[in-house]
Structure 1
Amino acid sequence: MATQVVAPVEIDDGSPEDPPVRSPRVKLRDGRHLAYRERGVPKAKSNCNIIIVHGFGSSKEMIFQVPQELIEELGIYFLLYDRAGYGESDPNLKRLAGVAMVVPVINYQWPSFPNSLIREDYRRTIVKLAYWIAKYTPGLLHWWVTQKWFPSPSSMEDKPERLRDRSVYDTLRTDFLVCYGHWDFDPMELSNPLPQNESCVHIWQGYEDKIVPFELQRCISKKLPWIQYHEVPDGGHFLVHYNGLCEAILRSLLLGEEHHLYRPSADKTVP
């Protein structure tokens, strides 16, 4: 999988006027900086390059557990970067706020979801309440991001950065509002974006996920058959941190291997 870097101008490690920067950064044409982190084999010696994009409240320091033996065997080079407004990357004040294709997040407002699936889902009510709070009483969301009584996604970080700082608060709130607000399109009406109808899009979902229902992810994969759907029987929302799962993801993505444990069970059907 070849990668392409869009619009970099120079590598910048910070200037005397900037706050201390611990990671290398790419300076874009609009003057913003994106901080990044490299893992795996040297890029010049790699057979495949993989870009890992972190999720809500995370950063490039997210833990992606892969055996070093597999990395060297397949010659994998990893690039992780802080999304705009996270970690050491500058915020983008002109962000595109109409698309948020963050897997496995779903939006109960997508019109293709059958009403029979979402009508009695208690999470739908919770999302509605959380969306109202984020939109109209943002102070409560800021408290949740900064409080230390309960675990947050940042507790999963290898080296937690400025995830609780006020500087990233607006980014977190914007992400949440985009994910669960009104979309101008229905993702389940998308066609395969890859040439030759290749099936290189994967969804990994935990059966025991208490935040995103597996039934809705099954519904998406049924309506978009060009997506390969994998389901972890005992997996929760943070299944990416489970031992062995990152290796399974890479083997499926790069080698086409499918472990029988991650095939969806037939105990529940989707309309």
Structure 2
Amino acid sequence: MRTLRDDNILKLPDGRQLGYGEYGDPNGKPFILFHGNPNSRLLWGVIPGSPFLPGTRLIAPDRPGFGLTDFKEGVTTLENWHNDVIALADSLGIKKFAVFGPSGGGPFALACAWKIPERLTSVGVFASVGPFLPETVVNASPTVRTLWKYAPRLPGLFRVQMRFFAWLARYFPNLYVRMILTEFSETDRKDYARLKVADFLRPDRSEGFRQRGICTWYDAMIPATWPIPLKEIKIKVFLWQGKEDISVPFAMGRYIAEQIPDFEATFINGFGHFWIFEHKHMGEMLEVLVPPSSSPRSK
């Protein structure tokens, strides 16, 4: 994957800054990627094997509170995220674009599908976080279920906890990895080791925690305070998810698929959250979302 530049800064109309990276072909078909948690714009440059399509221009903003992007409480919300995305696209001269969000980035892609379908060529999510409901967390890991349930009720406590995890990830990364792997299925733990995820994600995760975890606290509150009316989304959405996923439970993906009127879901047997890092799967998803013959170029 060719990195064009991974430390760009855009000043937003309200004075906040948004950091973003660019990868791939500068004249390619535009694709805006929303990273998961606790990742950053650097994620897309460290995935092994360059699993992206040629002729694609990848624009990767830091979500609010991650990396170089400012978080402002009360302003930085899912409901307002599309305004930042429009500002970024307009600054680059891009009229229409595809969006994709894995895991914690999924709600941000769905927010764009809800708010700005007229600007989008396609929408995709992988193992997207969704609303916290009895039926969506039935097979979630106990740690994740507890986090999502109580983060909105005890925000001060969870802010402190997330700052601790941010400190741990930056200074004791091996211990941090051992702790977070308790949130994943046995399938995912094996894949994490086999794919050497800890090694290639280390610089990305460190950048994701640059702002001491404020971002992870906000992400933890999203499921229980879910604001997106999924049934009102007016553009087709593609979803992929491994059936062995318990960190973002498979039932959550199935619920999202049942709610959105125009939806195409692919559920993968025998895999979990880290299927996305298997060789070529990223390219396969992008090929569905940005087919070679149909999507407009960026300018």
Same fold (TM over 0.5): yes
Aligned equivalent of 1:91 = 71
Alignment pair present for 1:157 and 2:183: no
Matched to 1:34, the amino acid is L
Q: How is 1:231-246 mapped onto 2 (pairs within 5 angstroms)?
A: 231-246=267-282
**Contact 1:83/1:89, CA 8 A, preserved across alignment:** yes
1:33-63 per-position Cα deviation (integer Å, ceiling 9, x unaligned): 21221111123xx2x1111111221100113
**Contact 2:10/2:19, CA 8 A, preserved across alignment:** yes
C-alpha separation between the residues in 2 aligned to 1:98 and 1:190? 15
C-alpha separation between the residues in 2 aligned to 1:170 and 1:237? 23
Aligned equivalent of 2:25 = 41
C-alpha separation between the residues in 2 aligned to 1:50 and 1:128? 32
Report the TM-score, using the length of structure 2 for normalisation.
0.60
- Whose helix proportion is higher, 1 or 2? 2
- Greater relative contact order, per chain length (Cα 8 Å cut-off, separation 6+): 2
C-alpha separation between the residues in 2 aligned to 1:129 and 1:93? 23
Aligned equivalent of 2:132 = 108
Aligned equivalent of 1:251 = 287
**Contact 1:67/1:247, CA 8 A, preserved across alignment:** no
**Contact 1:207/1:231, CA 8 A, preserved across alignment:** yes
Question: 1:206, CA displacement in angstroms?
Answer: 0.9
Runs of 5+ consecutive residues of structure 1 not aligned to the other structure = 1-21, 110-114, 257-271
**Contact 1:108/1:124, CA 8 A, preserved across alignment:** no
Q: How many residues align?
A: 215
1:212-234 per-position Cα deviation (integer Å, ceiling 9, x unaligned): 22233223323434111112223
C-alpha separation between the residues in 2 aligned to 1:181 and 1:219? 15
1:223-263 per-position Cα deviation (integer Å, ceiling 9, x unaligned): 4341111122232213322211101101211239xxxxxxx
Alignment pair present for 1:123 and 2:140: yes
Structure of greater Rg = 1
Change in 2 beyond 3 A, CA 1:92/1:238: farther
Change in 2 beyond 3 A, CA 1:185/1:238: same
C-alpha separation between the residues in 2 aligned to 1:169 and 1:56? 10
Partner SS, residue 7 of structure 2 = coil
Question: 1:181, CA displacement in angstroms?
Answer: 2.3
**Contact 1:57/1:172, CA 8 A, preserved across alignment:** yes
Aligned equivalent of 2:38 = 57
Matched to 2:220, the amino acid is F
Aligned equivalent of 1:31 = 15
Change in 2 beyond 3 A, CA 1:226/1:141: same
Alignment match of 1:137 (pick from 154, 157, 165): 157
C-alpha separation between the residues in 1 aligned to 2:66 and 2:141? 27
C-alpha separation between the residues in 1 aligned to 2:144 and 2:202? 28
Partner SS, residue 85 of structure 1 = coil
Aligned equivalent of 2:60 = 80
Question: 1:175, CA displacement in angstroms?
Answer: 1.9
C-alpha separation between the residues in 2 aligned to 1:142 and 1:78? 30
1:159-178 per-position Cα deviation (integer Å, ceiling 9, x unaligned): 3343334x24222212211x
**Contact 1:127/1:180, CA 8 A, preserved across alignment:** no
Report the TM-score, using the length of structure 1 for normalisation.
0.66
C-alpha separation between the residues in 1 aligned to 2:289 and 2:39? 23
Deviates more, 1:144-153 or 1:231-240: 144-153
Partner SS, residue 15 of structure 2 = coil
**Contact 2:53/2:283, CA 8 A, preserved across alignment:** no
**Aligned-CA RMSD value:** 3.3
Runs of 5+ consecutive residues of structure 2 not aligned to the other structure = 1-5, 80-105, 109-124, 182-196, 293-299
Among the aligned pairs, what percent are the same residue?
20
Matched to 1:56, the amino acid is N
Change in 2 beyond 3 A, CA 1:118/1:230: closer
C-alpha separation between the residues in 2 aligned to 1:164 and 1:191? 32
Question: 1:107, CA displacement in angstroms?
Answer: 2.3
Partner SS, residue 176 of structure 2 = coil
Partner SS, residue 144 of structure 1 = helix
Partner SS, residue 83 of structure 1 = coil
